[in-house]
Amino acid sequence: MAFQSPASTTVTPRKSAAVVIFLCFLAIVFDGYDLVVYGAIVPKLLAYEPWGLTAVQTGAIGSYALAGMFIGAILIGYLTDIVGRRKVMMVSIASFSLLMLLTAWAPTPELFGLFRFLAGLGLGGVIPTAIALTVEFSKSNRRNFNNALMFSGYAVGGILAALLSLAFLSTLGFQGMLALGGIPLVAVVPLLFKLLPESPAFLAAKGHRSEAEKIIADYGLDQLPPERAAGDAPAKGRFRTLLTGRLLGAMILFCVAGICGQTLVYGLNTWLPQLMVIANYSLASSLSFLLTVNIGAVVGVLVSSRLADKFGPRNVTAISFACSGVALVLMGTGIMPLAVMYFLVGVVGFGSVGAQILVNGFVATYFSGATRATALGITLGIGRIGAVLAISGGGVLVAASLGNFINFSVWAIAAAIGVVAVLAVPRAPAAQEQGEGSAPRSTDSTILH
């Protein structure tokens, strides 16, 4: 049964849900910054004589943060459905910021890697929380678009990292670039404390229905979560709900798609500058390509997410993966003019970062409000396997000197697997909320568990 809040139709909202989405956007910006800044500083790390790191060691250290995010996304994503989105968001960002500062001041590569891992624990909790909040504060016919708009902060952070690296890497060094990751502690956390509301879906699941109704009225939201009933997911156990029956098959396929998406995102954002240097481009040019990747991601995903809201995320996400795979193979041929290379790099950005954003939106709209953050945490956490393998494997790839065609086209394998995984996801059960992201019904009312 669908529930509609009378306040949402009779009272003008006092607050804008756009504020919530913007706060989530700010949080994600620094996730994107952390991802891309490490790729930008790889050449500096390799050239840092006191540590004497090899390409394989640098790739391994880069993967430590992803290992932390693997654990953080699953555990903190689960805690988000227990203690609330608001608390988790603030604590995750504060801990990440502090540890980025410690990473910048690390005196040895061992401590550098340890702090990267611990920073990843905090950062791992940001993404599922931000996605869950964005979906819950969006109208049903704008969920994919708003999620993409919010998650474009990931690419915006990457653009900032590339631009700042172009301007300041030579003077600040890799330590200074990492220290900038501490900015959220003073610039973002206070805003979250003052402006970020709690999720009404979480409040209703915890029995605080009056608080949920007030937030729904304040923000003019479409849905009012129903009274919690015996047998709902929280009573049965969120993990057990997601890992049994038909949902288990969906979770496995979403995890495979997440692994593929993060293989492309983290592998290319970390190693693209070095791959372009190997392909005889200058370091400045390689950083420009990194900038282009993230611009392509922002532009492409804002268009594709609107299509996902209208036609459903399945086919749109599969096309995104396919575009990145084709573009990577063409880049590996080494015969493309410079202008075409920039275009192909932009397509890769759309099909890697863009596909991962669409996968996240697909997951968020597929599962019910009671298990949404947990499902996102599992998908993003397991997906970090791809990120870890990509970053460490990229170092092995660079060290092997296999040639430009293999250096680029090998990443297309992940894109191809991603296409198959997304297309194989079973249709959401009829009892679930409008999970396929299909065109909205005549009413914005949506069934929530």
Tell me the two tokens of residue 301.
């995903």
CB 46 within 8 A of CB 109: no
Tell me the two tokens of residue 29.
């910006």
What per-residue confidence (pLDDT) applies to 97? 92
| pTM of the predicted protein model | 0.70
Alpha-carbon span 33 to 40, nearest angstrom: 10
Alpha-carbon span 174 to 170, nearest angstrom: 9
- Quote the longest CA-to-CA distance of the chain: 67
What per-residue confidence (pLDDT) applies to 423? 93
Tell me the two tokens of residue 79.
């805690």
Alpha-carbon span 334 to 339, nearest angstrom: 13
Alpha-carbon span 99 to 154, nearest angstrom: 19
Alpha-carbon span 320 to 426, nearest angstrom: 19
- For residue 47, what are the contacts with CB-CB under 8 A and spacing of at least 6? none
- For residue 239, what are the contacts with CB-CB under 8 A and spacing of at least 6? 78, 374, 378
Q: Which amino acid is at 30?
A: F
**How many CB atoms are closer than 10 A to CB 49?**
6
DSSP-assigned beta bridge partners for residue 4: 223
Q: In the chain, which residues have pLDDT < 70?
A: 1-13, 35, 222-241, 243-245, 281-286, 369-370, 428-449
> If you count them, how many residues does the chain have?
449
